[in-house]
Structures are given as C-alpha cells and as structure tokens.
Amino acid sequence: MTVYVRIRDGKFWIEEDWTEDGIANDLVRAGVPKEDIVLAFHEPKMRQYTDFALA
C-alpha cells in the first residue's frame, strides 16, 4: 500500500493513494474538513467534480 500526502498552505495534498477506502475518507473521519483536503492525483480540471478542495 502506498500513500503520498503533502501538507502545503495548511491543506493535505493527496498525491498518491492506493488504500482500499481512501486516505481522504480517513482524514475526514478524523475531523479534517473536506475543504482542507486536495485530491492532487486528479487533474485540476477534474477536482471540481469531487467533494474536496480544488487547490
């Protein structure tokens, strides 16, 4: 299992996530707001279709 997360400008940037449930969901369950999580493995134009931050 591989996970690569950076913290930049106070947000979690998930660059790579090969976990079964997704590390973003774990972060939300731990109390991190979705607007502080960027699914960076998606292209910027595709991020608008997620429930998470654009950048």
Q: What is the pLDDT of residues 1-55, one digit of tens each?
A: 899 999 999 999 999 999 999 999 999 999 999 999 999 999 999 999 999 999 9
Those residues whose C-beta lies under 8 Å from the C-beta of residue 12, and which sit 6 or more positions away, are 5, 6, 24, 27, 32, 36, 37, 38
What was the pLDDT predicted at 41? Answer: 96
What was the pLDDT predicted at 1? Answer: 86
Neighbouring C-beta atoms of residue 39, cutoff 10 Å: 20
Residue in 52, 46, 14, 8 with CA at minimum distance from that of residue 33: 52
Residue in 52, 49, 55, 50 with CA at minimum distance from that of residue 35: 52
